[in-house]
Amino acid sequence: MNPIFNHPCNVVTPAQTQPFPQQSRPVLNANWLPRFILLVLVLSLTSVCAAKTPRQLDFYHTHTGKSLSIVYYDGDKYNSAALKQISEFLGDFRTGTVHAIAPETLDILYKLRTEFGGEGTFEIISAYRSPKTNSMLRNKSSGVAKRSLHMEGKAIDVRLRGVNTALLKQAALKLQLGGVGYYHKSDFIHVDNGRVRRW
């Protein structure tokens, strides 16, 4: 018999008679580290490939009837000649004034186009506006901002062929890259690379 039970000074408690419970430890698969490294490499390569992808946009100007299909980012950098051509295409058709269009605004269009298959044509409703044109439009409509980003080449009003404009609006809102306006009756959206807001 165990002497711990025979000694008169010993008081046996339940804790002394019960074995300590063994804690289960997670079993690590020996292959987890190589698999984790592989996953990191795949995600990194995916990001690099996305950054290196050329960006193309197709436009149709609803006021001039002209079309333009152009690669404005070659996979490494923005193409200055292409950006100039886009700026001329999206200039103020009323006054003939040309202003540089922000590449960030073009990137918003590219992301939207990609979201819907990457092959659609944007119909241009309004792009760059000279102060004179903006003032004239403001006199006709209360919906035209006095300090419109159209005057800075940072805003554009479009619809995407083959895509419901309400869905295009939702996709633009999810990007959270700037302002998004939805004009249901006229069937177009406004996007800009200003602060995030909606109307």
d(CA 149, CA 145): 8
54-198 classified as CATH 3.40.50.720: no
What per-residue confidence (pLDDT) applies to 143? 78
Inform me whether the pLDDT recorded for 70 exceeds 60: yes
Whether 196 contacts 176, CB under 8 Å = yes
From residue 197, give the alpha-carbon distance in Å to each of 63, 130, 132, 134, 167.
27, 23, 26, 21, 17
Q: With H, G, I as helix, E, B as strand and everything else as coil, classify residue 23.
A: coil
Inform me whether the pLDDT recorded for 170 exceeds 90: yes
In tens, the pLDDT along 116-165 reads 999 999 999 999 999 999 999 999 887 788 899 999 999 999 999 999 99
How is the chain split into domains, by residue range?
54-198
Inform me whether the pLDDT recorded for 182 exceeds 50: yes
Structure confidence at residue 3 as a pLDDT band (50, 70, 90): very low
State percent of the chain over pLDDT 90: 69
d(CA 62, CA 49): 34
Structure tokens at 38: 């592989």
Least confident of 2-16, 66-80, 172-186: 2-16
Mean pLDDT of 102-115: 98
